[in-house]
Amino acid sequence: MHTKELARAFRAFAGLAEFERSQEIYRFSAFLEQGSNETVLSRLKRVSASTSYPLRLKESLEAIELGFKSFGATKQANALRSILKLFAGRPGATLDGFITEISVSPQTTDLHALRFKAADFAFAKLISDQLNEPSLDSKSFEAIMAKLRSPDAVKTVTLVLIANLYAGNGRVYRDRKMALEAIDKHFRVQVSRVREMCEASG
């Protein structure tokens, strides 16, 4: 089953739910529809299981899975069962926090590592996305770095997570200096690559 097909099915079920529950299903459907239309299994290779999840959404998806099973829609039920594996850890997360956490590729960093237990996942994803903006220039980069250099504004564990997400690796940065240097180095490498591509294209 493909992600956009499952998203359409979720929206149909959402119409039967009370308002707050339906809004969660609609927003999760929008998450599934992001990007290209691919199989659910392909999408799951690029996301991570959570450390905390929104309980009501999980209950809603379990009810939809039961509905699929009841009228013999095995393919759809199996796809949903795979999606439900993302709901790991403990209940209590906000929907935004949950989506931010599962959106991180398991190939970049291990979000379940103890060193990330106190990290602000939502903030780390927000900053790494800003750093990855194609339009980011040196002035904007330095403005972000000024914020990251402040221990009062950004905890070290969150800074390390930002460095991992931005650089796309799982390296262990043992202090703020190492993490900041990694971010700066990656930005310089990206700038150099863009410059080389522009020169090559004439």
Question: pLDDT of 163-198, one tens digit each?
Answer: 988 877 777 788 899 999 999 988 987 777 667 655
Assess contact for 64 and 11: CB atoms under 8 A.
no
Assess contact for 4 and 29: CB atoms under 8 A.
no
Question: Quick one: 60 exposed, middle or buried, by C-beta within 10 A (0-12, 13-18, 19+)?
Answer: buried
Flag whether pLDDT at 108 surpasses 80: no
State percent of the chain over pLDDT 90: 26
- pLDDT tens for each residue of 4-60: 888 888 888 887 888 888 999 999 998 888 877 788 877 777 787 787 899 999 999
Please state the domain extents for the chain. Answer: 1-103, 109-202
- pLDDT tens for each residue of 80-104: 888 998 898 888 889 988 888 788 6
Q: What is the pLDDT of residue 64?
A: 92
DSSP state of 175: S
Q: pTM higher than 0.75, yes or no?
A: no
